């Protein structure tokens, strides 16, 4: 209940500083994975009319995955997707006018079985680790840096990594095919509900590296052209997002309504997913760009051109500024 109250309070404060109403009612065409966690919020926004209340209409279409969404956005077929700000920075450096509006700072954890003897990452030397995504997954890069700089060893070179889709990593972890698993936060919540425990959270690893765990990684990415044509729309989208989180933080009926789309196997999993979603709510106010620049430097060091392309520093205009 403490998390719910704190989230509701922070979000309510953000809403009080919302930007003026839009002159017209623009339609924001969003391409989202309707099977993903973002649809919990998008559906809440539309059901309770938080888009209309804030002066725009949210039109959502399904998309197969992140690459398809990014292609559609760059091509101008849609106005908004959900992605990470590192991709936005790379696109802005290439001359594309895209803007990041914080949606979530939820990140995962390296999970192990409840009875695992592992106490630190070093205890996994010589064992298999499942990693959702690829070798340049941001959470994996942060854990690699933590192992090297804090525990003093190369986790990539001393363990065997099995990279794959989140459901496959989830299954491999529960079946004991891997001794550790780094998955997206929602699969991590399901794993914890099934009896696994976090060995190291990405938040704690980031903090130990001097990064700010409050820096939101995932957000709504909107075409700058649309925001410029509709002054105040960026603030309207942010306000609708905050309103949905406030509703979910304060009204159990709002969660009961969307429970079917969450596909929770049982009550424990349902509660874990609720708590994880709300705990990932970004703090109100502008993104700390100095903190983001520190994260970018680390991602550049470890991920190289495969992750950030030719990006050397944080471009101007990546993050939406409240009030603009």
Provide the CATH number for the domain around residue 280: 3.40.190.10
Is residue 220 within 8 A of residue 234, CB to CB? The reply is: no
pLDDT tens sequence across 168-227: 999 999 999 999 999 999 999 999 999 999 999 999 999 999 999 889 999 999 999 999
Residues 6+ apart with CB under 8 A from 16: none
Q: Residue 61 falls within a domain, yes or no?
A: yes
| pTM of the predicted protein model | 0.88
Backbone angles phi, psi at 130, to 5 degrees: -85, 135
Please write the tens of the pLDDT for every residue from 228-258: 999 999 999 999 999 999 999 999 999 999 9
* Nearest of 188, 192, 195, 181 to residue 143 by alpha carbon: 181
Give yes or no: residues 124 and 74 share one domain: no
**Has residue 312 been placed in a domain?**
no
Same domain (yes/no): 6, 101: yes
Residue 189 lies in a domain: yes
The number of C-alpha atoms within 13 Å of 307 and in the hemisphere containing its C-beta is: 23
Of the listed ranges 10-19, 34-43, 159-168, 241-250, the one predicted with least confidence = 10-19
Task: Give yes or no: residues 171 and 234 share one domain.
Answer: no
Strands in 160-164's sheet, in edge-to-edge order, are 160-164, 128-132, 180-182, 109-112, 197-201
Number of structural domains (the chain) is: 2
**Contact (CB, 8 A) for 129 and 143:** no
pLDDT at 161 over 70: yes
Q: Are residues 85 and 221 in the same domain?
A: yes
Taking the C-alpha atoms of residue 296 and residue 301, their distance in angstroms, rounded to an integer, is: 9
Among 322, 237, 232, which Cα is nearest to 283's? 322
Question: What pLDDT digit, counting tens, does each position of 66-123 carry?
Answer: 899 999 999 999 999 999 999 999 999 999 999 999 999 998 999 999 999 999 999 9
Same domain (yes/no): 116, 139? yes
Residue 10 sits in which domain range?
2-105+216-293
């Amino acid at each position: 209940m403490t998390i719910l109250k704190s989230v509701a309070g922070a979000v309510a404060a953000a809403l009080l500083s919302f930007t003026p109403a839009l002159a017209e009612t623009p339609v924001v065409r969003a391409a989202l994975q309707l099977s993903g966690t973002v649809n919990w919020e998008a559906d809440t926004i539309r059901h309770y009319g938080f888009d209309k209340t804030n002066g725009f209409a949210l039109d959502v279409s399904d998309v197969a995955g992140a690459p398809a969404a990014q292609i559609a956005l760059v091509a101008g077929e849609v106005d908004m997707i959900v992605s990470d700000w590192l991709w936005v920075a790379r696109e802005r450096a290439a001359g594309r006018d895209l803007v990041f509006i914080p949606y979530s700072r939820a990140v995962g954890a390296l999970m192990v079985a409840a009875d695992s003897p592992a106490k630190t990452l070093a205890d996994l030397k010589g064992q298999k680790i499942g990693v959702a995504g690829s070798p340049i997954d941001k959470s994996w890069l942060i854990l690699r840096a933590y192992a090297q700089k804090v525990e003093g060893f190369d986790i990539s070179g001393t363990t065997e990594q099995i990279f794959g889709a989140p459901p496959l990593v989830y299954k491999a972890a529960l079946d004991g095919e891997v001794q550790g698993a780094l998955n997206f936060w929602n699969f991590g919540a399901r794993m914890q509900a099934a009896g696994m425990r976090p060995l190291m959270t990405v938040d704690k690893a980031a903090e130990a590296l001097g990064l700010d765990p409050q820096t939101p990684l995932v957000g709504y990415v909107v075409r700058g052209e649309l925001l410029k044509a509709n002054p105040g729309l960026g603030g309207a989208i942010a306000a609708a997002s905050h309103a949905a989180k406030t509703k979910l933080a304060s009204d159990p009926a709002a969660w009961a309504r969307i429970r079917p789309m969450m596909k929770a196997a049982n009550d424990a999993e349902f509660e874990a997913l609720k708590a994880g979603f709300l705990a990932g709510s970004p703090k109100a106010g502008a993104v700390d760009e100095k903190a983001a620049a520190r994260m970018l430097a680390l991602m550049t060091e470890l991920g190289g051109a495969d992750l950030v392309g030719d990006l050397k520093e944080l471009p101007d205009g990546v993050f939406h500024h409240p009030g603009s």
